[in-house]
Amino acid sequence: MVRAASGALSLCGGGTRGVAFGAGEVLETSSLSGIRLYEPGALTLVAGAGTPVAEVEAVLAAQRQRLAFEVPDMRGVLGRGGVSTLGGVVAVNACGPRRVQVGSARDHLIGVRFVDGRGTVVKSGGRVMKNVTGLDLVKLMAGSHGTLGVISEVAFKLQSMPETEMTLRTQVPLAEGLGLLRQALGSPFEVSGAAFGRFGALLRIEGMEASVRYRAQALQDFLGGDWAEVAGRTLWAIVRDGGGLGEGALWRVSCKPTAAEAVVEALHGVEHEATFDWGGGLIWIAVRGVADGGASVIRGALAGVGHATLLRGSGAAVFHPEPPGVAALSRALRAKFDPRAVLNAGIFDQGARG
Amino acid sequence: MDMPLPDQAVLSAHARITGRLRGILPADAVISDPTETRAYECDALTAYRCAPLAVVLPRSTAEVSAVLRLCSELGVKVVPRGSGTSLAGGAFPTADCVVLGVARMNGVIETDYENRFIRVQTGRTNLAVTGAVEADGWFYAPDPSSQLACAIAGNIAMNSGGAHCLKYGVTTNNLLGVTMVLMSGEVVEIGGPWNDAPGLDLLGVICGSEGQLGVVTEAYLRILPKPEGARPVLMGFASNEVAGACVADIIRAGLLPVAIEFMDRPCIRACEDFAKAGYPDCEALLIVEVEGSDPEIDAQLARIKEIALRHDPVAYRESGSEEESRKIWLGRKSAFGAMGSIADYMCLDGTIPVSELPYVLRRIGEMSAAVGLSVANVFHAGDGNMHPLILYNANEPGQLETCERLGADILKLCVEVGGCLTGEHGVGVEKRDLMHVQFNAADLEAQLRVKDVFDPGWLLNPAKVFPLDVTASRRAG
């Protein structure tokens, strides 16, 4: 289909999380569905790119395993329906709160097969956990938003589910809360979630029962203050799925954790709301009542300390501008993989959908 | 192993090229005397040697940039080099190349515990990165066996792993950003002390690119708080199959040891003779290490012991002290030295699905018997990354060739069962010609196109990674 395409193609998995779509005929990957190999003893899974995430998660859960990077469900904040697919997860390099401990989709993706813009089938990586054979196109495909190829098959390494998890919460002001989160991430107690929002400051610990109990106590002793154990599942889902923020332009900011406060402070005087994850390394920000969605202020505050993607709203470029040297390399790579510019063409240059 | 014929025009312009290099670098940064360039004729893959045209040892990104700009202008090939510890010939020179060593660029630029990163110049050794933060209770996780000597530049080039990457991942999972000089001399900053890229993940393709795309001079690395403690346990089994089954059960049980190391009988014997670590006399041995506070370690090891006992271990020894931990690791860590003391050896690095372990070990045994060379196996069992060591005698005519053939056959076997040619050492020149086994023409072409973007003149680290037949037309251009 790619080879025969006479015009542009807009790539789409389940259409639940893409932040930018190309013009042209829609190419859906939902028929490339199904788990092709699942080896619980080797912690590996190979599946078609169109396989629903929910199907995979159910199969893994039956063996008490999971995709460690936590797949967000963005349908709520993006106002979408549809069925999230593995290919879409890879295309946007999705991840959740556990990013601080285990990385994002790209860190768990061990193999990929795709059809490039010429219509050629290419594979990279494989189904083993350690592989440095040849250039790592697996990483390049993760987060490429469908601009380098149509992903047809993916292989992931998996993680065993922990015996138990515990969430600790304290109600403190922003600056103090973020400081505590950074301190917790710098402790040896293996925090797997560190978030702040209108629900307070949250820390998550996972593992064997006895170990979780021990670390929860050790963390509280280490941090001081007033922490309480709370039911965490719903709270972490809010943090994971876009921060639970209401109307307005929605931003996903990735920054140096210590810069988080200043980024939000820069919006002083503008109606906004923020939820922080990764100890401040990730900020979901909803901005209301500004023509550019707050782009100039947010991106200005991020110079040299991070980048921001506009997930929802209009009036600004979706993707953070890259330094000229990096942008030139990225452009040249896209031209090599998709010389006719048919795959989600131009999305890295376009503004947000209205 | 074939290498392309050296460029005669470059060889005959030797004096002019070194003269130009001296014009842009301090006098002590350019080496062209043949008695001195010989020190750079090989890396840790010592079977292949070739002295370069010249060696440059710049002290800054600006100097690296000046060298690459000049070499681009003159059409001279450049072989980047960290500490020269590659087992795959990743820094193997050609006669017509300039070796660019980053060893003198070894400083720490910034340490930031609140944001959990360190920024270093890439000539710094792996262990010295941890050394810079250790006193404050932090460490840099990837720990290749050569960590005392190997440079971060080489770790990034090869996407190095180590014994503890089962829990902490390999270099690519711990690299946040780089300053890289392209062959044109252009300096690009990619990534930084934050997560993920706003556009394409260039960092992901640069890590592990074996010096094909650029010279990385500075890096932001993730550092982690040190665990409260660690403790290894040693277990011996009656067969490789049983040890392999035990590994699978530990993984299935959801335990996450930081390391699961495997040694087979020939390896256990050699290590025991060499290091006297007190290893049991058995067919297969596992070293499993867990981390945490004492009570946490106790709880994990209780579970591991329960699993191990189901497989009738012939030995089970939990470390009770620092000294005992040291002894348990002693044999494993001296495995390569032990082999080196009894023979010349070639160290392979294929990865296989963990479930194929018993079959692959049996096949290696048969293949080794068929050609009459012994193979000792030591490897990271948790992730299926094998290191078969083929023992041979370099002084006996034909043995190196037999060893190379056996090595190639073992790696083909790894690919056949669903694995790959190299798990952490890289392709280099060593496995270059085997790439066809794992990749078809279209797979390779996609990789070559990435190289085209970063190094259009194909001057960086020539004749590595990609089979010569697929790169011929590009190299000629």
How far apart CA A92 and CA A74 sit, in angstroms, is: 12
User: B360 and chain A: CB distance < 8 Å anywhere?
Assistant: no
Residues A73 and A140 in one domain: yes
For chain A, the farthest-separated pair of C-alpha atoms sits apart, in whole angstroms, at 64
Structure tokens at A108: 């768990």
How far apart CA B18 and CA B86 sit, in angstroms, is: 26
Residues of A with Cβ-Cβ distance to B293 under 8 angstroms: 214, 218
User: B465 and chain A: CB distance < 8 Å anywhere?
Assistant: yes
The residue among B174, B126, B163 whose CA lies nearest residue B147 is B126
Under 8 Å between Cβ of A179 and B110 = no
Which of A63, A65, A132 has the most B C-beta neighbours within 10 Å, making it the best mutation to test the interface with B? Answer: A132
Q: pLDDT, tens digit, for every residue of A302-336?
A: 999 999 999 999 899 999 999 999 999 999 999 99
User: B442 to chain A, minimum CA–CA distance in Å?
Assistant: 6
Asked whether residue A347 is domain-assigned, the answer is: no
Asked whether residue A343 is domain-assigned, the answer is: no
Number of structural domains chain A divides into: 3
Residues A116 and A144 in one domain: yes
CA angle (B271 as vertex; B269, B272 as ends), nearest 5? 65
Asked whether residue A134 is domain-assigned, the answer is: yes
How far apart CA B405 and CA B183 sit, in angstroms, is: 35
pLDDT level of residue A353 (50, 70, 90 thresholds): very low
Residue with tokens 């107690």: A189
Question: For residue B55, what are the β-bridge partners?
Answer: B31, B99
ipTM of the complex: 0.97
Provide the residue ranges of all domains of chain B, joining segments of one domain with +.
8-104, 108-225, 230-335, 343-416
User: B2 and chain A: CB distance < 8 Å anywhere?
Assistant: no
Average pLDDT of the segment spanning B9-35: 97
User: A89 to chain B, minimum CA–CA distance in Å?
Assistant: 14
Does the distance separating the beta carbons of B201 and A93 come in below 8 Å?
yes
User: A297 to chain B, minimum CA–CA distance in Å?
Assistant: 17
Domains B8-104 and B230-335 share a fold: no
Q: Which of A121, A136, A187 comes nearest B204 by C-beta?
A: A136
How far apart CA B313 and CA B58 sit, in angstroms, is: 54
DSSP secondary structure letter of residue A85: B
Q: pLDDT, tens digit, for every residue of A84-96?
A: 999 999 999 999 9
pLDDT, chain A, mean:
94
Evaluate whether the domain defined by B108-225 bears CATH number 3.90.1150.10. no
The residue among A121, A119, A114 whose CA lies nearest residue A6 is A119
Residues A139 and A275 in one domain: no
Asked whether residue A353 is domain-assigned, the answer is: no
Structure tokens at A269: 């005087």
Evaluate whether the domain defined by B230-335 bears CATH number 3.30.70.3450. yes
Does the distance separating the beta carbons of B113 and A320 come in below 8 Å?
no
Residues of B with Cβ-Cβ distance to A182 under 8 angstroms: 114-115
H or E segment and range at residue B206 = helix B202-206
Q: Which domain holds residue A277?
A: 249-312
Does the distance separating the beta carbons of A136 and B159 come in below 8 Å?
yes
User: B325 to chain A, minimum CA–CA distance in Å?
Assistant: 21
The residue among B108, B103, B204 whose CA lies nearest residue B156 is B204
Residues A95 and A224 in one domain: no
- Per-residue confidence (pLDDT) for residue A245, from 0 to 100: 94
Residues A16 and A149 in one domain: yes
DSSP secondary structure letter of residue B429: T
Residues A18 and A114 in one domain: yes
Residues A81 and A212 in one domain: no
Residues A221 and A296 in one domain: no
Q: Which of A190, A216, A240 is the last residue of a domain?
A: A240
Asked whether residue A149 is domain-assigned, the answer is: yes
Of all residues in chain B, the one with the smallest CA distance to A135 is B209
The residue among A234, A123, A246, A256 whose CA lies nearest residue A185 is A256
The residue among B338, B336, B302, B314 whose CA lies nearest residue B243 is B314
Asked whether residue A197 is domain-assigned, the answer is: yes
Number of residues in chain A? 354
Residues of B with Cβ-Cβ distance to A137 under 8 angstroms: 205, 446-447, 450
Asked whether residue A350 is domain-assigned, the answer is: no
Instruction: Inform me whether the pLDDT recorded for B394 exceeds 50.
Output: yes
Asked whether residue A346 is domain-assigned, the answer is: no
- Per-residue confidence (pLDDT) for residue A145, from 0 to 100: 95
Residues of B with Cβ-Cβ distance to A322 under 8 angstroms: 198-199
Does the distance separating the beta carbons of A188 and B225 come in below 8 Å?
yes
Q: pLDDT, tens digit, for every residue of A227-243?
A: 999 999 999 999 999 99
Burial (CB count within 10 angstroms: exposed 0-12, middle 13-18, buried 19+), residue A354: exposed
Dihedral, CA of residue B253, residue B256, residue B262 and residue B268, to nearest 10: -110
Does the distance separating the beta carbons of A282 and B116 come in below 8 Å?
no
- Per-residue confidence (pLDDT) for residue B332, from 0 to 100: 86
Does the distance separating the beta carbons of A218 and B446 come in below 8 Å?
no
Residues of A with Cβ-Cβ distance to B173 under 8 angstroms: 103, 107
Residues of B with Cβ-Cβ distance to A325 under 8 angstroms: 186-189
Residues A32 and A146 in one domain: yes
Does the distance separating the beta carbons of A135 and B447 come in below 8 Å?
yes
Q: Where are the beta strands (DSSP E) in B333-443?
A: 344-347, 375-380, 385-392
Instruction: Inform me whether the pLDDT recorded for A13 exceeds 90.
Output: no
The residue among B54, B196, B197, B219 whose CA lies nearest residue B140 is B219
User: B439 and chain A: CB distance < 8 Å anywhere?
Assistant: yes
User: B175 and chain A: CB distance < 8 Å anywhere?
Assistant: no
**Alpha-helical regions (H) of A28-162:** 53-62, 75-78, 86-91, 99-102, 105-108, 137-141
User: B307 and chain A: CB distance < 8 Å anywhere?
Assistant: no
Q: pLDDT, tens digit, for every residue of B252-283?
A: 888 889 999 999 998 999 888 888 888 999 99
Instruction: Give the CATH number for residue A136.
Output: 3.30.465.10
Instruction: Inform me whether the pLDDT recorded for B381 exceeds 60.
Output: yes
Question: For residue B274, what are the β-bridge partners?
Answer: none
B32 SS3 class = coil
Does the distance separating the beta carbons of A329 and B194 come in below 8 Å?
no
B139 SS3 class = strand
How far apart CA B315 and CA B274 sit, in angstroms, is: 20
Residues of B with Cβ-Cβ distance to A304 under 8 angstroms: 192
Instruction: Give the CATH number for residue A227.
Output: 3.30.70.240
Q: pLDDT, tens digit, for every residue of B150-194?
A: 999 999 999 999 888 889 999 999 999 999 999 999 999 999 999
Under 8 Å between Cβ of B190 and B218 = no
Structure tokens at B102: 């980053």
Q: What are phi and psi of A9, to 5 degrees?
A: -120, 140
Cβ neighbours of residue B126 closer than 8 Å, sequence gap 6 or more: B140, B142, B143, B144, B146, B147, B148, B150, B151, B152, B155, B160
Q: What are phi and psi of B359, to 5 degrees?
A: -60, -45
Instruction: Give the CATH number for residue A279.
Output: 3.30.70
Fold of B8-104: 3.30.43
Query: What is the radius of gyration, based on Cα positions, of chain B?
Result: 23
How far apart CA B250 and CA B300 sit, in angstroms, is: 11
Q: What are phi and psi of B235, to 5 degrees?
A: -135, 140
- Per-residue confidence (pLDDT) for residue A246, from 0 to 100: 86
User: B252 to chain A, minimum CA–CA distance in Å?
Assistant: 5
Share of chain A above pLDDT 70, in %: 99
Q: Which of A107, A327, A332 comes nearest B453 by C-beta?
A: A332
- Per-residue confidence (pLDDT) for residue A30, from 0 to 100: 85
The residue among B399, B447, B289, B415 whose CA lies nearest residue B348 is B415
Residues of A with Cβ-Cβ distance to B360 under 8 angstroms: none
User: A225 to chain B, minimum CA–CA distance in Å?
Assistant: 19
* Interior/surface letters A49-85, b for 16+ CB within 10 angstroms, e for the rest: bbbbbebbeebbeebebbbbbbbbbbbebbeeeebbb
Q: Where are the beta strands (DSSP E) in chain A?
A: 9-12, 25-28, 35-39, 44-48, 65-66, 109-116, 121-125, 149-157, 159-160, 164-170, 191-197, 200-207, 228-230, 249-255, 271-277, 282-288, 306-312
Fold of B343-416: Alpha-Beta Plaits (3.30.70)
- Per-residue confidence (pLDDT) for residue B477, from 0 to 100: 59
Residues of B with Cβ-Cβ distance to A298 under 8 angstroms: none
Number of residues in chain B? 477
- Per-residue confidence (pLDDT) for residue B393, from 0 to 100: 93
Instruction: Inform me whether the pLDDT recorded for A348 exceeds 50.
Output: yes
Residues A122 and A210 in one domain: no
How far apart CA A27 and CA B240 sit, in angstroms, is: 49
How far apart CA B390 and CA B344 sit, in angstroms, is: 8
Residues of B with Cβ-Cβ distance to A128 under 8 angstroms: 351-353, 383-384, 418-420, 423
Of all residues in chain B, the one with the smallest CA distance to A349 is B199
H or E segment and range at residue B474 = helix B468-476
User: B449 and chain A: CB distance < 8 Å anywhere?
Assistant: yes
User: B202 to chain A, minimum CA–CA distance in Å?
Assistant: 7
- Per-residue confidence (pLDDT) for residue B164, from 0 to 100: 86
- Per-residue confidence (pLDDT) for residue B51, from 0 to 100: 97
Instruction: Inform me whether the pLDDT recorded for A351 exceeds 80.
Output: no
Under 8 Å between Cβ of A18 and A12 = yes
Residues of B with Cβ-Cβ distance to A123 under 8 angstroms: 439, 443
Q: Which amino acid is at B59?
A: R
Q: Which of A308, A333, A348 comes nearest B453 by C-beta?
A: A333
How far apart CA B474 and CA A155 sit, in angstroms, is: 32
Residues of A with Cβ-Cβ distance to B446 under 8 angstroms: 116, 120, 122, 124, 137, 337
User: B426 and chain A: CB distance < 8 Å anywhere?
Assistant: yes
Instruction: Inform me whether the pLDDT recorded for B385 exceeds 90.
Output: yes
Which of A118, A128, A214 has the most B C-beta neighbours within 10 Å, making it the best mutation to test the interface with B? Answer: A128
User: B199 and chain A: CB distance < 8 Å anywhere?
Assistant: yes
Average pLDDT of the segment spanning B50-79: 98
For strands B385-392 and A159-160, give the pairing.
unpaired
Residues A123 and A17 in one domain: yes
pLDDT level of residue A11 (50, 70, 90 thresholds): confident
Under 8 Å between Cβ of B235 and B78 = no
Does the distance separating the beta carbons of B465 and A132 come in below 8 Å?
no
Residues A271 and A236 in one domain: no
Question: For residue A315, what are the β-bridge partners?
Answer: none
How far apart CA B202 and CA B183 sit, in angstroms, is: 16
Under 8 Å between Cβ of B353 and B364 = no
Does the distance separating the beta carbons of A336 and B295 come in below 8 Å?
no
Which of B65, B115, B460 has the most A C-beta neighbours within 10 Å, making it the best mutation to test the interface with A? Answer: B115
Q: Which B residues in the span 384-403 are in contact with A, Cβ-Cβ below 8 Å? A: 384-385
Average pLDDT of the segment spanning B328-344: 85
Does the distance separating the beta carbons of A41 and B355 come in below 8 Å?
yes
- Per-residue confidence (pLDDT) for residue A352, from 0 to 100: 45
pLDDT level of residue B336 (50, 70, 90 thresholds): confident
User: B133 and chain A: CB distance < 8 Å anywhere?
Assistant: no
Q: How many helices (H) and strands (E) does chain B have?
A: 18, 18
pLDDT, chain B, mean:
94
The sign of the CA dihedral B152, B156, B157, B159 is positive
Q: Which of B208, B252, B454 comes nearest A136 by C-beta?
A: B208
User: B34 to chain A, minimum CA–CA distance in Å?
Assistant: 33
Q: Which of A240, A265, A292 is the last residue of a domain?
A: A240
How far apart CA B474 and CA B4 sit, in angstroms, is: 13
Under 8 Å between Cβ of A140 and B197 = no
Q: pLDDT, tens digit, for every residue of A34-85?
A: 999 999 988 999 999 999 999 999 999 999 999 999 999 999 999 999 999 9
